[in-house]
Structure 1
Amino acid sequence: MANIKVPYGKTHWDIKIPDENLMGVLESNVNEFKPELTQEEIVNRALDTPIGSPKLEELVKDKKDIVIITSDHTRPVPSKITMPILLERIRKVNPDIDIKILIATGFHRASTREELINKFGEEIVENENIIIHDSRDDESLVKLGILPSGGELWLNKLVEETELLIAEGFIEPHFFAGFSGGRKSVLPGIAGAKTVLANHCSEFIASKHARTGILDRNPIHEDMLYAAKKANLAFILNVVINSKKKIINAFAGDCEEAHLEGCNFLLDISKVDKVDADIVVSTNGGYPLDQNVYQAVKGMTAAEATCKEGGVIIMISACNDGHGGQSFYDNLANASSPREVLHKVHKISRDKTIPDQWEFQILARILDKFTVILVTDMYDPEKIRAMHMEHAYTFEEALEKAFEIKGKGAKVAVIPDGVSVIVN
């Protein structure tokens, strides 16, 4: 009997798979990468050797003000490490500069004070000027042009008001943008709702290039990169983290060049070969990414890439924050089947994209081909079933259900961290 540790919320579960059923454990080499430097040293090294850009200190020395974009509570950016380093280096050369920290909520809800303290620590929350972006507040936005997709580019007006715009973030495989990080801090991070919707249209989500680990000809990425350049995003600090949320590498400098180098590094250590499994077990990497069903779709796409059509995906995700989006939930729960959702969404034009459409489109795509069993003891089973998924309180219960569907001899693959791998 194979014993495999998988993340669940802020804890881990030990799951057991019979040896005769286990086909493989699909893991990236991110956790095998052992840096010789401390996390702080890794970040400082990146800032000392920026890619395609002058050093941060050169950029800030004559400026009156600066905006630092950072991720919200749904992203495990280690800001307790990165933000103090950025602030110290900025103020060392320009003590009087006005600094605003802009929380890139994208289309998410606002971060709470408690979540901000968990992210930055109390000292930064108490002493820094933190502004939470609201994509639906038209008064806080400015129009900066037209995206390659044809959508209007609306961004937080702070990008136009500040002398210098920089961003911190992290790079991970992303299920339709190819990779997170870099340009994504701007779009969707600090974009208006109208812009996010246009970028996340059904046509783009359906593109074969809008997949994990792909940037080339990815229409969603192309929009994002255009937005970052129109915003004059002058400098980024992006880190790569392991499953323990520890920094293993960092990339700083030009928003396109530094990000691409980081993506190539991650691609080299995250690619895994697919297997044809009847049952695939996946997770969303634990807290904070497994707080809701909406985010859990990401981990499901990793399973989708290696599961036989008609197979079973067992998704282990705490979902303690519920479904994660009312439109996301309603569009699935109010449909008679996932196929109905797909028929509906494919008829929606770019300029008519509705909230959370991309997420329920991808989940419907998965549900149309696979049975999904969501494993959680923190969310209402009835609501899970309303979204056309099965529910189990424990992994053992889920595996038993999966064997009932696919047979006792079914082959099982396990992806301990579904958001960290690129399956191809």
Structure 2
Amino acid sequence: MNVQLAYGRGRLAVDFPEDRTTVLEPTYIPGLPDEAGAIRDALQAPLGAPPLASMVGPEQTVAISVCDITRPMPSRTLLPVLLGELEHVPDERIVILIATGTHRPNDRGELVEMLGEEIAGRYRVVNHSAFDDDGLTYLGDVEPRVPVWLNRLWVDADFRITTGFVEPHFFAGFSGGPKLVAPGLAGFKTTMRLHDAEMIASPNARWGVTEGNPIHDAIRRIAARVGVHFSVDVAINRDRQITSVAAGELFAVHAAMAERVKGSAMQPFDAPFDVVVTTNSGYPLDQNLYQTVKGLSAAAQVVKPGGAIVCAAECADGLPDHGEYGAILSARDSPDALLEMICAWTCTSHWSCRLWPGA
């Protein structure tokens, strides 16, 4: 059996024994025949909200949160349609915020790849920085003891829009929706609490669970605290084509999209496996080892205790070289000692390190 594994920007062909191999993958859903038309329809007939164009006045400032280069979000397809609905708003009153979380800023070439040349050149585009205290605003705390520090441009905007793609997330339940506020546009202190050992250790901090998941519960509280006026979420297939789109009120949109995605992305299996071969879904998700932990976490759900996981990830960006990940991984000689250290203190990369010993 020949299987084409997603690897970097291409595929890695691997032969497996036919009689001993089970392939678990999302149910393939063809892309929408008219992606732009489907997005426009969603913006003009949204869930729980008026049409987008009618909600924003020309005198208002608008902030749009978009995914960074580590996510395969089709922003260059979505944004031209969304901005078309805002054509009555002067360009200088619109800012596009790259929701980097604690990741590195995206360079000019990456912005063009993500947004398209016209949008990257026409509008103000700002990389969020979780570490720039002057660029953050404190909005108090939400339960459970999460300090809310958010991007100042986002907080100060008259009208705030999130754009994201929804897929199962290994400790936040699902991506997209309110995650484009936190951790996407959150300060370091906020993200470290959302990603600390206590939060990740919850049995409900796992794939496909939002309600009762302390991380996603807190993320929703943060989004509600600042207020999101409109949201657009999409689902995509392995070819990065849009398969579904919803727009409107943040929580209604995200709940609807999570339900749609859950049925295709999460698959049943009869029994755990001795050996699991996995990927991190290719570029841009497998750019570095830090992000590749997500593929390992998925494999850990289906492998037998004591079994083996083999992960194919290009990691063109290294560990990555920026941040503290490499130094932390090498700080102790065993997984148990590393886990003990991580549980005792916080750092920008500790969530990924913490999941390594369990994987």
2:329·2:353 contact (CA, 8 Å) conserved in 1?
A: yes
For normalisation by structure 2, the TM-score amounts to 0.96
Match of 1:288 among 278, 284, 289: 284
Give the ranges of 4+ consecutive aligned residues of structure 1 lying more than 6 Å apart after TM superposition.
none
The aligned counterpart of 1:277 is: 273
- 1:336 correspondence with 2:333: yes
Report the Cα distance in structure 1 between the residues aligned to 2:266 and 2:194, rounded to whole angstroms.
Answer: 27
Report the Cα distance in structure 1 between the residues aligned to 2:91 and 2:114, rounded to whole angstroms.
Answer: 25
Aligned residues: 357
The 5 A counterparts of 1:9-408 are 9-22=8-21, 24-29=22-27, 31=28, 33-34=29-30, 37-61=33-57, 63-91=59-87, 93-95=88-90, 98-274=93-269, 275-324=271-320, 326-348=323-345, 353-366=346-359
* Paired letter, 1:60: V
Report the Cα distance in structure 1 between the residues aligned to 2:152 and 2:91, rounded to whole angstroms.
Answer: 22
Report the Cα distance in structure 2 between the residues aligned to 1:140 and 1:35, rounded to whole angstroms.
Answer: 39
Report deviation, 1:124.
1.2
1:297·1:362 contact (CA, 8 Å) conserved in 2?
A: yes
Report the Cα distance in structure 2 between the residues aligned to 1:344 and 1:238, rounded to whole angstroms.
Answer: 37
Which is higher, the Rg of structure 1 or of structure 2? 1
Cα deviation 1:302-348 (Å, max 9, x = unaligned): 11000001111010100010002542222221211111112223334
Report the Cα distance in structure 2 between the residues aligned to 1:188 and 1:235, rounded to whole angstroms.
Answer: 18
What is the SS of the residue equivalent to 2:129?
coil
Report the Cα distance in structure 1 between the residues aligned to 2:276 and 2:158, rounded to whole angstroms.
Answer: 49
Report deviation, 1:8.
0.6
Report deviation, 1:35.
5.2
Report the Cα distance in structure 2 between the residues aligned to 1:88 and 1:196, rounded to whole angstroms.
Answer: 33
Report the Cα distance in structure 2 between the residues aligned to 1:52 and 1:68, rounded to whole angstroms.
Answer: 19
What is the SS of the residue equivalent to 1:169?
strand
Report deviation, 1:43.
1.2
What is the SS of the residue equivalent to 1:198?
helix
For normalisation by structure 1, the TM-score amounts to 0.82
Cα deviation 1:251-310 (Å, max 9, x = unaligned): 111111110100000011122113321100101111100000011000111110000011
Report deviation, 1:49.
2.0
Report deviation, 1:48.
2.2
Report the Cα distance in structure 2 between the residues aligned to 1:312 and 1:326, rounded to whole angstroms.
Answer: 29
Cα 1:15–1:134 shift into 2, 3 Å: same
Report the Cα distance in structure 2 between the residues aligned to 1:191 and 1:35, rounded to whole angstroms.
Answer: 32
Report deviation, 1:161.
1.6
* Paired letter, 1:26: L
Unaligned runs of 5+ in 1: 367-424
1:176·1:210 contact (CA, 8 Å) conserved in 2?
A: yes
Which shifted more, 271-280 or 326-335?
A: 326-335
Cα deviation 1:360-397 (Å, max 9, x = unaligned): 0011221xxxxxxxxxxxxxxxxxxxxxxxxxxxxxxx
2:165·2:175 contact (CA, 8 Å) conserved in 1?
A: yes
- Cα-Cα RMSD: 1.4
Report the Cα distance in structure 2 between the residues aligned to 1:48 and 1:308, rounded to whole angstroms.
Answer: 48
Cα 1:345–1:36 shift into 2, 3 Å: closer
